[in-house]
């Protein structure tokens, strides 16, 4: 799979927004993206090192997208304070009518 230069820059920008110190690393002839803190981007999703730099950045971008979606929809995210504030906001709206 080939990625155009414009699309590659867009993918790289998404990863760098989440991991500002991210950079390409090579190990045993395969490329992976380091997060700048000593670990790999996408390791928690078991994404293997890729054969090209572009594919390494592509899969790093996909793993950050997946991570964001999981954090957004995780059931432990909503706490009691969130429910109370939401309830109060809706109650105020209903009392105005």
As given in the structure block, the two tokens for residue 83 are 């429910």
pLDDT of residue 32: 94
d(CA 32, CA 27): 8
- Helix locations, the chain, DSSP H: 5-18, 53-73, 80-95
Query: Which range of residues forms the domain containing residue 17?
Result: 5-95
d(CA 30, CA 39): 16
Q: How many structural domains compose the chain?
A: 1
pLDDT over 90, % of the chain? 58
Confidence of residue 81 (pLDDT cuts 50, 70, 90): low
pLDDT in tens, 18-74: 999 999 999 999 999 999 888 999 888 999 999 999 999 999 999 999 998 888 877
Helix (H) or strand (E) holding 24: strand 23-27
Partnered with residue 1 across adjacent β-strands are none
């Amino acid at each position: 799979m080939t990625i155009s230069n414009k699309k590659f820059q867009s993918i790289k920008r998404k990863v760098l927004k989440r991991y500002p110190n991210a950079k390409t690393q090579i190990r045993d002839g395969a490329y992976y993206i380091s997060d700048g803190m000593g670990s790999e981007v996408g390791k928690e999703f078991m994404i293997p090192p890729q054969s090209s730099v572009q594919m390494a950045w592509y899969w790093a971008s996909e793993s950050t997208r997946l991570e964001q979606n999981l954090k957004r929809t995780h059931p432990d995210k909503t706490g009691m304070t969130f429910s109370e504030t939401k309830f109060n906001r809706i109650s105020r709206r209903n009392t105005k009518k």
